[in-house]
Every structure is written in C-alpha cells, then in structure tokens.
Amino acid sequence: MGELSTNLDPEIQEPIVPEMRVHRNHPIDNIIGDPYAGVQTRHRTITENTSLYTEIFDTGVMETCLHAVFVSQLEPKNVKEALTENCWIEAMQDELSQFQKLHVWDLVDLPKGFQPIGTRWVFKCKTDDRHVVVKNKARLVVQGFYQQEGLDYNEVYAPVARIEAIRLFLAYATYVGFKVYQLDVKSAFLYGKVHEEVYVTQPPGFEDPHNINKVYKLDKALYGLYQAPRAWYETLSKHLLSNGFDRGQIDSTLFIRKAGGDILLVQVYVDDIIFGSTNEGMCREFEKVMKSKFEMSNMGELSFFLGLQVSQRENGIYLHQTKYVQDILSKYKMSDSTTYGTPIPVNHGLHPDRDGKDVDSRLDCGIIGSLMYLTASRPDIMFAVCLCSRFQSQPKESHMIAVKRIFRYLKGKPRLGLWLVSWQCKKQSTVSVSTCEAEYIAAASGCSQILWIQQQLRDYGLNFTGTPLFIDNNATMSITNNPVKHSKTKHIEIRHHFIRDCAEKYLIELVKVHTDDNLADLFTKAFDRSRFEHLVNLIGMFNPE
C-alpha cells in the first residue's frame, strides 16, 4: 500500500498511538463578552445599551434602517409591564410632556364634595398598510364611565361626518380633479377647553412622590371624557371660522373657503381632517393656518382614512379595504379557506332554524360586526351580511356556515374596490300589503338620500335638479305621478308621500328601468355567479389587479 496523503506539516511528527483529547474548558480568549457578567435579560440589555442607542441617533447613523430595533413590536398588558421597556417609557413621557406644553391640568388639593376620576394608560402599536409597526403610542385616558351628568358634564353632542359625506367629498375631488390631503392633529382633544370643574387622579406610574394625595384639575379635555369631542370641535371650528372659512349649511363638519374662482374644502371627522382645493396654494395656506395653533404632522396625500385605503389615480379615486379584509380573515382563521364566487348561494334557505345546533353568540356578533364595518367600501356583500345579521340573537350552526361563506368570497376578492358614493340595504320597518307599496316606500327612502346629496353639493357650489330615480315598478311610478289614486294608498303612512312633492318640484325625475339593469337588486336578492358579477361591475366595483 502506498503512503496516505496528509495535510500536516512534514516537521510535525504524528504520534503512533492517537490521543483522544476532550476540551472540558472553553478557551477564555474565544468567549465573546464578559464571562462573569451573568445572564443578560431583555430588560438589562435594553438598560445597559441606552447610551449606545442615544449615540447612534444623535449622530443620525442608520436611523431609518434601525427604526424597527427601537420600536416595540408587542403591546404591554399593563403599565407595570410598560415601565420595563424604554420605548414605552418614552411614549408615556411624550404624552405627559404634551400635557405640560398645552397646560392641560394643575396639581391641586381635592376640594370637599368632589370625587376624582380615575386615569389609565392605553398602549397601541401603530402600523402601516403593510402591517409594519411604525410607532409606539401611549395615551392617558380618563375613565369617563365614572362621570355623572350635571356634575362632571352637561352638553356632550359633537357633530360627526357621515361616511357617505366622506365618499361624496372624494367623488367631488375626482369630478373637479384635485388632490386630497390629510392632517393628523397630535393629541387633538387636549386643545378643547373644559368648562366644568373636573378632577382626575395622577397618571399610574408617574405619581408625584412629594404630593401623593393631590389630584389634577383639568383645564383642557382628556381622551375618555364625555365632553372631549364637543370641546375639540368648538376649538377647531372657532379657529377655522376666524380664518375666513364658512361652515356648511347642511353638514356642520364641512368647512369651505372661496377665493375668486377657487375653492378649498375641509372635512372633519373628530380629530381626522381631510382637505383639498382647486388651487394648490390654498392647501399650503391652510396647512399654515392649522399649524399656527395646533401641533400636527406634515401634510401628505390621503392614503388611509377611517379604515379605508384610498388610491388617488389619474382616472379617479379608488377605495378599498384590502388590509382590513386580511386582518379579519386572519383573526377568524379563514386565511387558508377555499374561495367562492358569490357571498351567498341563490337558494340560501336561511331561516331562524329553531332546532339547529347553537353556536357562540358572542363570536357570531363579533364576526357580523366586523363584516358590517367592511360594507363601508364593499356593497357587494351588503345583502349577505344584512341577511345573516337577522339571526344574531340565537345563532345556529347553519347561520355560521352562511357567515363563513362570506369570508370565503372575500378570500377570493380581497382587493375589490369602488367609485360609488352611497347605498343602503335595510329591512322595511312597515308591513306592506303589496309589492307596489313596498317599492313605493323604498323609492321614498331613495328620494330622501337624493335630497341629502343635492343639499350637500350646494355647499360645494353645485346645484342639481331633476335627478333621475330609477324604478322598475310601473304601479309605483303611477302612484307617485297621479295623486288621484289616493283611495289605494290611504293606508300608507303620510311620511312616505313626500316623494310626490319632490317629483312635482322637479327635484327628482322618475325613470323606468328594466329589471335586468336594476342595480338595487344587488342589495335585495341572491344571484348566481354570472349575474352577480354583472351587477358588481355595473355599480362601479373593480379589482385593479
């Protein structure tokens, strides 16, 4: 046999008898870090490296790349847990520093006859549309359920924009052709003035050790107070009105400013503000007006508002809730389910099913509530969701199967969006003795919605009359146009007959539509896949992919 090849140095003599050596002790020189430091917990690691984090951010090195490292991915369950992490401590300190900047409260002794309202921390990981955590938000809120009417608050009503008003605003922006922007007011409710005498306890974890028995007297509103939204709206509206804006005649959350032939529109939904103008300079001026009084983020194009994802394109504004669809599919463990082409079968056969197997009513109500919120941009599931919602009091297994069918439909079309402004699917509260009467009542309801849109558009500077109202029932058109048929309609409630006045004043125009082209059928019936998809396309819904 020839010599075995080896990679040893020729000068090294290989022992004849091999030695078995086991290193019981790892060489200290190869150990990374201090071997005598002990176990490094998550809390100790964060605390000891605080100076390193500060140095990195002070120099601006890799600030963007390291963002996720310094933002917590988990929401603490309580303040005790939050106080163990620097990121949440900083978030709470930011909130309290905002209180000090805006002179929200004063530390005082509690007067006799008053009971302080408790406070608590709410922690939230803010995410973008890709589910990436971008910010840790800590908010101190008041336990408002302890408030007593007449003592802690009086008037609490604050106007809130309807979701139809938001969609109409976006539709007008598409029609005129201007970009829509949004502003985020930081801690908006803290700007509202409190007129009542309200005392709250010191924030948990940040009590003054030298004045442990004292409480805070509120000068500004905190989140959780019943009167907080009203106080914020009063502050905002006064500021806008004093800077040349006019309030909408119909919608008090709409503010308008005109200059020459240009117009600036501002729509307010509590502390969320969207605006747009035919003159880009007016948008920049509005931003300066807002920043002169309120602290807020920079102006940006509207992309996410009230759970709606907004895509502003050259040919219009596309609304969808893709992120929300993915969230509820994941929440209810339907992400891997098979898909269906329609949300409900033609012969669904849904009924109370008294003898069926019971299911968890809380789970059923939660699912229905999630789907109802989705109908803000998905009229294609409106009929199916409304039908399933009728059985929430005593849900059965057959009802849960129908609800899951809706999820399977959404799984196949998560990005379906729309251009539509307003729609409604509602079971009539009155009992009709004929199809004609039911159609007549439905037409009156549709007429009221048309009048609201007409009045809303007047604030935009547009006047419309003779709006077509499509009806596929000849008898309904005859009753509306011919009051002489009162003998056959005397049992119909008087409030439904205002449609006759609207037709006489030419506010609406009744137009006969063939049943095959009646878009309202999508909200009242179940169809096969081909007919269903045809109606979905007719109402303006589409999938951009």
544 vs 352: CA distance, rounded Å:
39
CA distances to 149, 442, 480, 493, 496 from 437, in Å: 45, 9, 11, 11, 10
- Record the tokens describing residue 436, joined without a space: 């004609």
Q: Residue 233: CA atoms inside 13 Å, Cβ hemisphere, count?
A: 21
pLDDT attached to residue 362:
93
CA dihedral 10, 12, 17, 19 (to 10 degrees): -130
The order of strands in the sheet holding 300-301 is: 246-247, 254-259, 262-269, 272-277, 180-184, 300-301
282 vs 265: CA distance, rounded Å:
10
Q: Which of 397-431 are b and which e, b meaning 16 or more Cβ less than 10 Å from the residue's Cβ?
A: ebbbebbebbbbbbbebbebbbbebbbebeeeeee
- Record the tokens describing residue 140, joined without a space: 């101190």
Nearest to 383 by CA among 541, 525, 534: 525
Residue ranges per structural domain of the chain: 42-71, 163-188+233-319, 321-412, 435-523
Residues in a beta bridge with 153: 149
152 vs 143: CA distance, rounded Å:
12
User: Residue 359, class by beta-carbon neighbours within 10 Å (0-12 exposed, 13-18 middle, 19+ buried)?
Assistant: middle
Q: Which amino acid is at 531?
A: R
Residues in a beta bridge with 117: 200
CB atoms within 10 A of CB 378: 26
Q: Which long-range contacts (CB under 8 A, 24 or more apart) does 94-99 make?
A: 94/138, 95/138, 95/139, 95/140, 95/187, 96/140, 96/203, 96/206, 98/186, 98/187, 98/190, 98/295, 99/140, 99/190
Nearest to 521 by CA among 468, 473, 489: 473
CA distances to 140, 497, 508 from 117, in Å: 13, 51, 53
Return the SS3 of 175.
helix
Strands 180-184, 254-259: parallel, antiparallel or unpaired by DSSP?
A: unpaired
Nearest to 199 by CA among 132, 251, 151: 151
The separation between CA 385 and the C-alpha centre of its own chain, rounded to angstroms, equals: 19
Length in residues, the chain: 545
CA distances to 116, 144, 201, 230 from 213, in Å: 11, 21, 9, 31
Nearest to 136 by CA among 120, 147, 122, 156: 122
- Per the CB < 8 A criterion, the answer to whether 396 and 519 are in contact is no
300 vs 274: CA distance, rounded Å:
10
Nearest to 143 by CA among 187, 203, 83: 203
CA distances to 197, 351, 411, 532, 534 from 405, in Å: 53, 16, 10, 15, 20
Strands 246-247, 308-313: parallel, antiparallel or unpaired by DSSP?
A: unpaired
Residues in a beta bridge with 310: 319
- Per the CB < 8 A criterion, the answer to whether 506 and 463 are in contact is no
339 vs 322: CA distance, rounded Å:
16
- Per the CB < 8 A criterion, the answer to whether 279 and 176 are in contact is no
pLDDT attached to residue 46:
44
Mean pLDDT, consecutive 10-residue stretches, the chain (545 aa), reads 51 56 55 58 47 45 50 88 91 91 93 92 84 86 87 86 90 90 88 92 92 94 92 94 92 92 92 91 92 83 87 86 92 93 93 92 94 92 94 93 96 87 74 82 91 91 91 88 70 83 92 89 91 90 76
502 vs 452: CA distance, rounded Å:
12
Nearest to 170 by CA among 274, 273, 307, 323: 274
Whether the CA torsion 177, 182, 183, 187 is positive or negative: it is: positive
Return the SS3 of 304.
strand
Backbone φ and ψ for 312, nearest 5 degrees, come out as -90, 115
What DSSP element (H or E) covers 512?
strand 508-512
pLDDT attached to residue 545:
62
pLDDT attached to residue 296:
83
First to last CA, the chain: 71
Q: Which CATH class is domain 163-188+233-319?
A: alpha beta
Nearest to 375 by CA among 338, 416, 317, 332: 416
The owner of tokens 């201090």 is 34
Nearest to 161 by CA among 301, 305, 295: 305
